[in-house]
Structure formats: C-alpha cells, structure tokens
Chain A
Amino acid sequence: DQQVKQNSPSLSVQEGRISILNCDYTNSMFDYFLWYKKYPAEGPTFLISISSIKDKNEDGRFTVFLNKSAKHLSLHIVPSQPGDSAVYFCAASGTSGTYKYIFGTGTRLKVLA
C-alpha cells in the first residue's frame, strides 16, 4: 500500500511559467513533509520541507503548500527554469526529526526553454 503517492509521473512546463507538483498521503500520523530533487547519476538533494503546524513554507522560487484535511501537499516553482528539470520526490515522516521516511514515486519535471 503506497502511503505517499505522486500520481503524475511526468510534467512539462514552459520556462518562466509555474510548475506545480502534487503529492497525496494516506497516513494521518505523518506530520513532517519534504521535497527532494534528483538529477541523473546523483543522489537526491533536499529542497524544502514543511511541518504540519504550517500550511505554507516558502524558500525563494519554491513554495510548499500543505492541506491536512485533504492529505495533500504541493510544490510550486515560480518561475520555472531549465535547470529545474529533474525528478522530484516528496517524502513524509511521523514526527519532525524522526528517522523513518516514506517517499513517493517521483515526478519527472521538464522545463522547456
């Protein structure tokens, strides 16, 4: 049973436009969520996180929104740049700072120049 789901395997966006990547989860005990970006032949790198006490966290061009009632989070990238082309994984854990993580299946973002 996939507790963290990214239902869009891929997404293409024009440079300068907004990219919206979505993630759904089923376990109501999750209270800390993260997004990672992965380039080919490299490990995932941390992008942004959000605790369940917040509904939004922003870092430069990246904003994560959390809708706890819908068990849904999204990553917005504005404006999108060709260097953002990568696979994006969302991840969830039960307690902020805990060590057990559940990852989604990833969304491949392609930003077209």
Chain B
Amino acid sequence: EAQVTQNPRYLITVTGKKLTVTCSQNMNHEYMSWYRQDPGLGLRQIYYSMNVEVTDKGDVPEGYKVSRKEKRNFPLILESPSPNQTSLYFCASQGVGQPQHFGDGTRLSIL
C-alpha cells in the first residue's frame, strides 16, 4: 500500500529540547516536503526536497532543519523548539507529474 508515514503522531515537549519528526515514503518518489497547518493560516510549506541531497526553503523555514540522505526518508529537525512551533505538521511526497501524497500528520505541542 502506498504510504507516507510520519512519527510520532503526537508529541508534547519543552522549549529547547531538540526533536526530530521522521517521514518515510514507500513510493520511490523524488520529491518530499514538510508543511505546518495553523488555524486561519492553512498549510504553509517549511522545506522541500527535489531528490537526495537536494533541499530548499519553503515559506516558513525559520527554526527548522531537514536532511535527505536517502530517497525514502525526509526528517524534520527542530534544534531548539519554541512555543510558536506548536502546530500540526504534514509530510508529503510526490512523483514526477503526480499530485502530492500526504502523511496523517504530527501534532506537536511545545511548552
């Protein structure tokens, strides 16, 4: 079954404690992306990757890092999380000429 898998699904943590949200896809897609969803703001793109070792900033990259060492994985790293990064996060993958497939989301609460 074609899937984009995010872990964890829920996380409550504290300011400044580094965390990583993993994203894995089994469709051999070249493109992967991270979004955050906030009330009244819709989905905003954080970072995207066009292939292994190729990443670029989206609209709201501040405070986030990503890496793409393997085609299937695209982790989102918060080196020093702050309360304004409390949000619902979605990972997506996309093959050439295809629409994006989204994971089911990770709800992060940073106290």
Known: A105-B40, A105-B41. A43 touches B31 (CB 8 A): no
Most interface-central of B35, B56, B90, B102 (chain A CB within 10 A): B102
Most interface-central of A6, A43, A46 (chain B CB within 10 A): A43
Q: Which of B14-22, B43-51, B66-74, B75-83 contacts A (4 or more CB under 8 A)?
A: B43-51
B1-20 contacts to A (CB < 8 Å): 4
Q: Which of A36, A96, A103 contacts B44 (CB 8 A)?
A: A103
What 1/0 mask marks residues of chain A from 1 to 19 whose CB sits below 8 Å from any chain B CB?
A: 0001010000000000000
Output the least CB separation between A59 and chain B (Å). Answer: 12
Q: Which residues of A contact B35 (CB under 8 A)?
A: 103
Q: Which residues of B contact A86 (CB under 8 A)?
A: none
**Bound Cα distance A99, B92 (Å):** 11
Q: Which of A97, A100, A104 contacts B97 (CB 8 A)?
A: A97
Q: Are B103 and A97 in contact, with the CB atoms below 8 A?
A: no
Q: Are A43 and B90 in contact, with the CB atoms below 8 A?
A: yes
Q: Which residues of B contact A34 (CB under 8 A)?
A: 99
A57-113 contacts to B (CB < 8 Å): 89, 91, 96-97, 99-106
* B87 close to chain A: CB less than 8 A: no
Q: Which residues of A contact B101 (CB under 8 A)?
A: 46
Q: Which of B41, B43, B102, B105 contacts A45 (CB 8 A)?
A: B102
Where the two chains meet, the residues of A that have a C-beta atom closer than 8 Å to any C-beta of B are 4, 6, 34, 36, 41-46, 49, 89, 91, 96-97, 99-106
16 contacts between A and B (CB under 8 A): A4-B42, A6-B42, A34-B99, A42-B104, A43-B4, A43-B103, A44-B43, A44-B90, A46-B101, A49-B99, A89-B43, A96-B97, A99-B56, A100-B45, A104-B42, A105-B40
